[in-house]
Amino acid sequence: MNLGERKYKRYSTIGYCIYCGVSANEKKLGDEHIFPLALCGNLVFLDASCRCCAEHINKNFEGPLLRKTFGILRSRLKTWTRHPKERINTFVCEFVDDCGKSIQVTLPVSEYPLFIMPYTRDPPALLQGKSGSPMPPLSQVRFREITPGALPKLKGGKFFQIWVVGQLQLEMAKIAHGYAVAEGRMSGFDALLPPLILGQDPYISDYVGGTEMTAKEFSERFKTGSNFNEIRLMTLFFKDEEFLIALVQIFAILDAPVFQVVIGRRRISASAYTG
Ligand SMILES: [Zn+2]
The rounded Å distance from CA 24 to ligand 1 centre is 10
Using the predicted structure, report yes or no on whether residue 6 has a pLDDT greater than 90.
no
Average pLDDT over the chain reads 85
The rounded Å distance from CA 272 to ligand 1 centre is 31
Q: What is the mean pLDDT of residues 71-96?
A: 85
Q: Which of 228, 252, 249, 255 is nearest to 3 (CA)?
A: 228
Q: Rounded to whole angstroms, what are the CA distances from 176 to 115, 191, 250? A: 23, 11, 11
Ligand 1 is a single-atom ion; what residues have CB below 5 A from it? 17, 19-20, 50, 53
- How confident is the model at residue 21, as a pLDDT? 97
**Which strand ranges, in their side-by-side order, compose the sheet holding 29-33?**
9-11, 43-50, 29-33
- For the stretch 29-59, pLDDT in tens is 999 999 999 999 999 999 999 999 999 999 9
What's the CA gap between 62 and 171, in Å, rounded?
6
Looking at the DSSP assignment, which residues form a beta bridge with residue 142?
116
What's the CA gap between 213 and 258, in Å, rounded?
7
The dihedral over CA atoms of 10, 11, 14, 17, expressed in degrees to the nearest 10, equals -60
What's the CA gap between 262 and 275, in Å, rounded?
27
The rounded Å distance from CA 55 to ligand 1 centre is 9
Q: What is the mean pLDDT of residues 247-271?
A: 89
Using the predicted structure, report yes or no on whether residue 19 has a pLDDT greater than 90.
yes
